[in-house]
A = this chain, B = another copy of it.
């Protein structure tokens, strides 16, 4: 120890430009452009870019934005499906210290206007498919805002509402633009609004450090090899595509773009572009499972699927595996850069029956390598629950892939980070092996006669019925029981003759009596813009309010 009470290891050994560089995923694209300049980076219809070209296009975008006065801490909004320009924005925007705001394409004008105002957007890039809603939204925006069209050749029919199109805009920039890393890895890189069922949307801010780490965490969790060929089924506006734009830059992979998530296009892309990896909510997997057999033919290479968003019913996972797709179940929220946890597979589970395997794989699992802490605990006291697979608690996370915070929302931040843990709002049990299993969102739990019923568990049984395409269970008010479970079911084609009692009978055979739905309602399920089933609407229907 010297006089200042610092050890010899903390004296004269400070950070300098040679040994400390802010962590940022921007270094990944620079490296791939240098090391693999000619390797394909993007496939979109007839468009082909390599990593050198993609990098140059990102630099042009950065440079053009700077030329228009956009700079550090400014918001740049994009509304687009998974097309090359949105991928480029994940690099071009932060290259000048600006913050990318990718807008959910399913939102209405009012919602979008709220976000553009709240984020103080300086510029918005608009895909032709959404120019209608954006025109409406712009009428409600307070600040001056530049509008640029994303004139995608694969969607020529959209109305153009901007001052010019993206290709002309980036021509304002310089392909040799000298961008710079952030001064501090804690600086913001993107902004994503959570769709939330009540109240104003909250703006989740990511920083360069977290984006770097979670992008690498994806590589490690999925054992993703170099040059993986990734299909963009998961929207880039959803948690920045779980950080995969940056993961692909790290791995010099191939971005196979996709405007529409429909089974035929997905199977065609998998076959034609030899896709090795894609991500999707269970609903996407269900769609693929139920696609026409003819569409599925001709795929004989390994395809890896990462799924999350809601817990995939075991039957869906088993079905995918039977189709020859290798499913990795991950877990996370917008607030955790997408997947921060995963169901790590154990070698000796290979010897279990397919049914046992599906049950194991349906669990959300353990913290990923780069999430430093995960626990199931009492929401008030933060006292961990017993690891008995039975006691329910809230899931809490701690780590570098937990968001920087909600934008301009101190009270929400205080609540979210209270006690030094991030409060997920998800309810789970903790199994003896340390794996968590989500039982429900706090607000979706059914409490019937004092017993907690996991709607997820009931749904999981419903999915095992051969006639069920989709199922959702919510609480229905009951004078006698407090609440009772009410099931909403979409039937597969050709099963129109099914009755409510058929379903109830099946449930009685497969679950504890108190969990069996008292009502079954057939029909299509209302979904949020990210494809989540809108349970609050179902609750209103159940209670006769809608």
Contacts and interface: CB of A to CB of B under 8 A. Distances in A.
A373 B226 CA distance: 20
Contact of A19 (B13, B35, B417): B417
Interface string A204-239: 010000100000100110010111000000000000
Which of A8, A20, A220, A405 has the most B CB atoms < 10 Å from its CB?
A: A8
Given A10-B188, A19-B399, 13 more contacts: A7-B73, A8-B73, A8-B407, A9-B404, A13-B407, A16-B420, A17-B417, A18-B420, A19-B402, A19-B405, A35-B344, A36-B346, A216-B220
Interface in A95-123: 99, 120
Contacts of A120: 8
A21 B408 contact: no
A366 B35 CA distance: 7
Contacts of A397: 18
The 10 closest A-B pairs by CB, nearest first: A7-B73, A17-B420, A9-B188, A19-B402, A13-B405, A21-B372, A18-B417, A18-B422, A13-B404, A35-B366
A8 B13 CA distance: 34
A326 interface: no
Nearest to A405: B13
A10 B223 contact: no
Interface in A409-431: 410, 413, 416-417, 420-422
Contact of A372 (B15, B27, B225, B367): B27
11 contacts: A7-B73, A9-B191, A11-B408, A13-B205, A13-B413, A17-B417, A19-B422, A20-B400, A23-B400, A181-B372, A223-B223
A369 interface: yes
A331 to B, nearest CB: 14
Contacts of A410: 12
A38 B12 CA distance: 43
A534 to B, nearest CB: 29
Contacts of A470: none
Interface of A: 1, 6-21, 23, 27-28, 31, 34-36, 72-74, 99, 120, 181, 186-188, 191, 205, 210, 216, 219-220, 223, 225-227, 250, 344, 346-347, 366-367, 369, 372-373, 397-400, 402-405, 407-408, 410, 413, 416-417, 420-422, 434
State the oligomeric state as a number of copies.
2
A366 B187 contact: no
Contacts of A400: 19-21, 23
B10 A73 contact: yes
Given A12-B410, A402-B18, A31 B367 contact: yes
A220 B223 contact: no
Nearest to A342: B35
Contacts of A223: 223, 225-226
Given A19-B400, A19-B403, A99 B9 contact: yes
B369 A28 contact: yes
B35 A413 contact: no
Contacts of A191: 9
A191 B9 CA distance: 9
A10 B402 CA distance: 16
Given A8-B73, A220-B220, A399 B35 contact: no
A397 B216 CA distance: 21
Nearest to A184: B10
B8 A399 contact: no
B74 A7 contact: yes
Given A9-B188, A36-B346, A413-B12, A398 B205 contact: no
B220 A9 contact: no
A403 B16 CA distance: 10
Nearest to A398: B18
Nearest to A213: B23
